[in-house]
Amino acid sequence: MSLIEQALVSAISSHANTPIIIAYSGGVDSQVLLHALASLKKNQQLTNPITVCHVNHGLSVNAFAWQEFAQQQCSRLALPLIIKQVNVQAKAQSSLEALARDARYQALVEINSTSSLIITGHHSDDQSETFLLALKRGAGLKGLASMLANSTLGKHKLIRPLLGVSRQAIVTYAQEQQLSWIEDESNDDTSFDRNFIRQEVMPLLSARWGSISQTINRSAEHCRAGQELLDELGEQDLLHCQLSASVLNVASLQSLSIARFNNLIRYFLAKQQCLMPSTEQLEQVRQQLSADENKNPAIKVADHYLRRFKNQLHLTAELADISGWSQDINIDEFNDFTHMIKAAITLPDNLGRLSISAGNNRGNNVREDDTHITSTVIIAPTVAQRVSVRFSHNNPICLPDYRRHSRAFKKVLQELNIPPWQRKRIPFLYYNDVLVAAIGFFVCQEFVPKNSQAALYLTLEPEVK
Ligand SMILES: Nc1ncnc2c1ncn2[C@@H]1O[C@H](COP(=O)(O)OP(=O)(O)OP(=O)(O)O)[C@@H](O)[C@H]1O
């Protein structure tokens, strides 16, 4: 068995029978990948079902010729081929590569609905180039770890079994097997950073240090191992500092060293699928932890915000101003009171869905904890009343169900310990212009239904990401 076939068997053997998707461009690397896998399958050294996927980016005048080549190769090997057309448009050339790659991975993810192994032809020279590109960007350990031999892509596993094999070994295999392949003319264009590294930088480095590619690969491996340790530390620190999915405890964060704080925030953001913050942004967040308690600073970190509220640090998306939003609910149809859901409103700015049903009251509002109620139950409106959901209020005096005395609405929201930005995101229910409930928090006492009185049930379901 050749070195290449051995690498494939060792990467795939622990995934017996999992469907394989070969990412096939028709270039020499994926051509070798395709042929070696087809030969293993033919000799029954591999039993996994195989599908080949060629992505047509439509970027080259030759794109359809490559697609035809892929069709010929797969029909010769009797392997099923799926062609995916993607549409990539970029303003700057530098982002073209990244957009093409993202579109390609997205297309590969969508091929199978069941969990599969997506296999690419990346090799050790690709890895060296990726490392140098990361170095040029000033990346940390995670970026310098470069490509992982095993990772996840959606519900699939992304495997790069040839990462330990050099380009030269791949070309030698292709020549020995008398394979033909396509040459992408854009690989010669050194205005792309990767091509510049491949065509000009690596030859210069290799001429002086013959095994530079191997040593760069070794460094990438050290970075991967280092990053793994940092992730373990991040997980431990998160256990200590996390109050809920998107809230951290400020006092616990303050007990960490700067390096450990930065690592935890990066780890936390990565877990929530946020983009990575810059070092300056991390420094700002850390400084705001010791700011005055009454100030509620919000620091933009990449595409999200970290917002301080008392002893809590909340992660939120960018929040839109929804103060002018209002929607009426047509209650005319609520005439059978069978507890069936009668209306569902999609709230603005990803706040979720509010479903409303009607029925005779079967019990009081159930408190989840000190502040939240799971289902808000209120006296049904009369036919003449206009029912609406809004996010604004004019600070009426109100008497929440859990209080003995009435109080200004703003003060009530404060005493419930709701962070200021969340106070603007609570759906308020009105009958005409009278506040009835702060949905999910409380009902004004005059609207709390008595037993078996006609009632509305309001349930807030968070947005499913
Ligand atoms: N158009 C494509 N369709 C499907 N998979 C692709 C495509 N382009 C690249 N890939 C996958 O990504 C891997 C690395 O991409 P890269 O851009 O380095 O490849 P390439 O130089 O175009 O082709 P190859 O790596 O096959 O020589 C390829 O080995 C292949 O598995």
Q: For the segment 109-136, what is each residue's pLDDT rounded down to a tens digit?
A: 999 999 999 999 999 999 999 999 999 9
Nearest atom of ligand 1 to the alpha carbon of 121: 29
Site to substitute for ligand 1 among 20, 22, 30, most atoms within 8 A of C-beta? 30
Residue 371 has pLDDT above 70, yes or no: no
Give 365's pLDDT tier (boundaries 50, 70, 90). Answer: low
Give dist(CA 385, CA 330) in Å, integer: 10
Residue with tokens 């009105």: 430
Q: Whose CA is nearest to atom 8 of ligand 1?
A: 25
Query: What is the whole-number distance in angstroms between the Cα of residue 276 and the centre of ligand 1?
Result: 27
Bridge partners, 309 (sequence order)? 312
Give dist(CA 411, CA 395) in Å, integer: 9
Is 58 marked as binding a ligand?
Answer: no
Give dist(CA 258, CA 253) in Å, integer: 10
Structure tokens at 192: 């792309």
Query: What is the whole-number distance in angstroms between the Cα of residue 173 and the centre of ligand 1?
Result: 17
- Our answer on whether the CB atom of 427 is closer than 6 Å to any ligand 1 atom is no
In a domain, 229, yes or no: no
What CATH number is given to the structural domain containing 302? 1.20.59.20
The candidate with the shortest Cα–Cα distance to 242, out of 316, 314, 318, is: 314
Interacting residues of 137 by C-beta distance below 8 A, sequence separation 6+: 143
The candidate with the shortest Cα–Cα distance to 398, out of 387, 410, 409, is: 409
User: What pLDDT score was predicted for residue 264?
Assistant: 98
Nearest atom of ligand 1 to the alpha carbon of 31: 26
**In this structure, are residues 35 and 177 in contact, taking their beta carbons and an 8 Å threshold?**
yes
Residues 270 and 389 in one domain: no
Q: Whose CA is nearest to atom 6 of ligand 1?
A: 25
User: What pLDDT score was predicted for residue 285?
Assistant: 94
Give 32's pLDDT tier (boundaries 50, 70, 90). Answer: very high
User: What pLDDT score was predicted for residue 294?
Assistant: 74
What is the side-by-side strand order in the sheet with 341-346? 341-346, 353-360, 454-461, 375-379
Give 100's pLDDT tier (boundaries 50, 70, 90). Answer: confident
**In this structure, are residues 131 and 220 in contact, taking their beta carbons and an 8 Å threshold?**
yes
Is 401 marked as binding a ligand?
Answer: no
Query: What is the whole-number distance in angstroms between the Cα of residue 126 and the centre of ligand 1?
Result: 11
Is 464 marked as binding a ligand?
Answer: no
The enclosing H or E element of 175 equals: helix 167-176
User: What pLDDT score was predicted for residue 337?
Assistant: 58
- Our answer on whether the CB atom of 308 is closer than 6 Å to any ligand 1 atom is no
**ipTM for the complex?**
0.93
- Our answer on whether the CB atom of 29 is closer than 6 Å to any ligand 1 atom is yes
| Domain C-terminal end among 220, 255, 278 | 220
Interacting residues of 385 by C-beta distance below 8 A, sequence separation 6+: 331, 431, 432
Residues 203 and 270 in one domain: no
Find the domain containing 429 and state its range. 326-461
Residue with tokens 């509002």: 365
Query: What is the whole-number distance in angstroms between the Cα of residue 35 and the centre of ligand 1?
Result: 15
Give dist(CA 278, CA 259) in Å, integer: 14
- Our answer on whether the CB atom of 169 is closer than 6 Å to any ligand 1 atom is no
Residue 373 has pLDDT above 70, yes or no: no
Residues 65 and 170 in one domain: yes
Residue 251 has pLDDT above 80, yes or no: yes
In a domain, 55, yes or no: yes
Query: What is the whole-number distance in angstroms between the Cα of residue 31 and the centre of ligand 1?
Result: 9
User: What pLDDT score was predicted for residue 361?
Assistant: 73
In a domain, 235, yes or no: no
Residues 181 and 271 in one domain: no
CA angle (302, 306, 308) in 5-degree steps: 160
In a domain, 240, yes or no: no
Is 213 marked as binding a ligand?
Answer: no
**In this structure, are residues 117 and 19 in contact, taking their beta carbons and an 8 Å threshold?**
yes
The candidate with the shortest Cα–Cα distance to 281, out of 257, 301, 259, 261, is: 301
- Our answer on whether the CB atom of 53 is closer than 6 Å to any ligand 1 atom is yes
pLDDT digits (tens, 9 = 90+) for 401-447: 988 999 999 999 999 989 999 999 999 999 999 999 999 999 999 99
* Mean of pLDDT over the chain: 91
- Our answer on whether the CB atom of 161 is closer than 6 Å to any ligand 1 atom is no
Give 286's pLDDT tier (boundaries 50, 70, 90). Answer: very high
Q: Whose CA is nearest to atom 29 of ligand 1?
A: 121
Mean pLDDT of 220-236: 98
What CATH number is given to the structural domain containing 157? 3.40.50.620
Least confident of 186-190, 310-314, 362-366: 362-366
Residues 300 and 332 in one domain: no
Instruction: Name the more confident of 40 and 360.
Output: 40
Nearest atom of ligand 1 to the alpha carbon of 120: 31
Nearest atom of ligand 1 to the alpha carbon of 181: 27
Residues 256 and 376 in one domain: no
In a domain, 68, yes or no: yes
Query: What is the whole-number distance in angstroms between the Cα of residue 237 and the centre of ligand 1?
Result: 39
- Our answer on whether the CB atom of 127 is closer than 6 Å to any ligand 1 atom is no
Residue 350 has pLDDT above 70, yes or no: yes
Site to substitute for ligand 1 among 29, 74, 119, 199, most atoms within 8 A of C-beta? 29
Q: Where are the beta strands (DSSP E) in 272-325?
A: 298-301, 304-309, 312-316
Mean pLDDT of 54-70: 91
Residues 277 and 331 in one domain: no
User: What pLDDT score was predicted for residue 290?
Assistant: 85
User: What pLDDT score was predicted for residue 333?
Assistant: 63
| Domain C-terminal end among 203, 220, 237 | 220
The tally of domains found in the chain comes to 3
User: What pLDDT score was predicted for residue 94?
Assistant: 57
Give dist(CA 248, CA 250) in Å, integer: 6
Residues 64 and 83 in one domain: yes
| Domain C-terminal end among 289, 316, 343 | 316
**Amino acid residing at 133:** L
Bridge partners, 430 (sequence order)? 388, 435
Structure tokens at 117: 């192994």
In a domain, 405, yes or no: yes
Backbone angles phi, psi at 374, to 5 degrees: -75, -45
Is 75 marked as binding a ligand?
Answer: no
Give dist(CA 148, CA 161) in Å, integer: 10
Region for residue 154 given its phi and psi (left: phi exceeds 0; alpha: psi -120 to 50; beta: otherwise): left
Query: What is the whole-number distance in angstroms between the Cα of residue 186 and the centre of ligand 1?
Result: 13
Residue 51 has pLDDT above 90, yes or no: yes
In this structure, the number of other CB atoms found within 10 A of the CB of residue 80 comes to: 11
Nearest atom of ligand 1 to the alpha carbon of 55: 3
Q: What is the DSSP letter of 359?
A: E
**Amino acid residing at 403:** R
DSSP codes, 378-438 = EEPPPTT--EEEES-----EE-BTT-SS-EEHHHHHHHTT--HHHHTTSPEEEETTEEEEE
Dihedral sign computed on CA atoms, order 134, 28, 60, 157: negative
Interacting residues of 447 by C-beta distance below 8 A, sequence separation 6+: 378, 379, 431, 436, 437
User: What pLDDT score was predicted for residue 218?
Assistant: 98
